Amino acid sequence: RRQRQMCIRDRLISMFLQYSYNLIDSAFVARLSENALTAVSLSFPITTLMNATSIWIGVGVNVLIAGYLGEKKQDEANTTVTHGLLLAFGIGALLNLLSLLIMKPYFGAFTNNEEIYQLSMAYMSVCSFMQIPNMVHIAIQKMIQATGNMVAPMWFQIAGVVVNFVFDPLLIFGIGVFPAMGIRGAALATVLGYALSMVIAFLLLVFTKQKVRIKIKGFHVDSNMLKNLFSYGFPSFVMNALGSVSYTHLTLPTI
């Protein structure tokens, strides 16, 4: 019972850290102007959907690996790791491209204010590149959590949040040797935070002793495994994506 309570606690902390990037950006960007804060708020539904997709793949990987390890099927668990990483990179790149393609009509539908529109475009044109590191680090986080290790994934998430918190003011306002990038600086700090989490997570998976590892030799795509991965993670995607849809329709009038 205690272990289950610890798992729930760590998952809640993980979810809070995942969504803290936007909160941190908003806190610093609000010092630029009200329009800048509005621009970040307009971007929130897009980034939430991106996070929801990352959680979809991560939860699917988590459930599969935990099941295979429980059945003593080590090879299948390792195969799931490889599938998860390939999906994280591939879908992450696809979502990156899609977000760049849809942001013009999306922001145009929600604001008639040219300054807000330009600020939104500036923020999202950089923030879109968070998706590959976001998906990869969440996938690895869920892989390691499936083995019962809840602590290590929390720490590489914290490292990313700290980087975002430190670099936000440096890049937004141009402190010290850093250029004043305004709202683009907030987006870049977010991307750097996710990138650091991805690098630490990947190094942890590859170079430390874990109960699962990447399978390369003899690997082949298993369509049934992919089907299960998507189906197991889909409820988590719906739960997280609904927040984005509700936010868009209920709280974002045309500005």
Q: What is the pLDDT of residue 148?
A: 86
Phi-psi region of 176 (alpha: psi -120 to 50; beta: other; left: phi over 0): left
166: tokens are 């430190």
Note the pTM of the prediction, 2 decimals.
0.88
Residues in the chain, pLDDT under 70: 1-19, 243-255
Q: Which residues of 126-156 are buried (b: 16+ CB within 10 A; e: fewer)?
A: bbbbbbbbbbbbbbbbbbbbbbeebebbbeb
- The tens digit of pLDDT for each residue in 21-45 reads 778 888 899 999 999 999 998 888 8
Alpha-carbon dihedral angle through residues 87, 88, 90, 96, given to the nearest 10 degrees = 150
Main-chain dihedrals φ then ψ at residue 211, nearest 5 degrees: -75, -10
Q: What is the pLDDT of residue 140?
A: 96
- Listed as own residue / partner, the contacts of 62-65 with beta carbons closer than 8 Å and 24 or more positions apart are 62/142, 62/143, 62/145, 62/146, 63/146, 63/232, 63/233, 64/225, 64/228, 64/229, 64/232, 65/142, 65/143, 65/146, 65/147, 65/212
Nearest to 193 by CA among 35, 28, 6, 81: 28
Q: What is the pLDDT of residue 18?
A: 65
Q: What is the pLDDT of residue 207?
A: 93
The answer to whether 119 and 172 have CB atoms below 8 angstroms apart is no
- The tens digit of pLDDT for each residue in 162-197 reads 999 999 999 999 998 999 999 999 999 999 999 999
Q: What is the pLDDT of residue 253?
A: 52
215: tokens are 């399978």
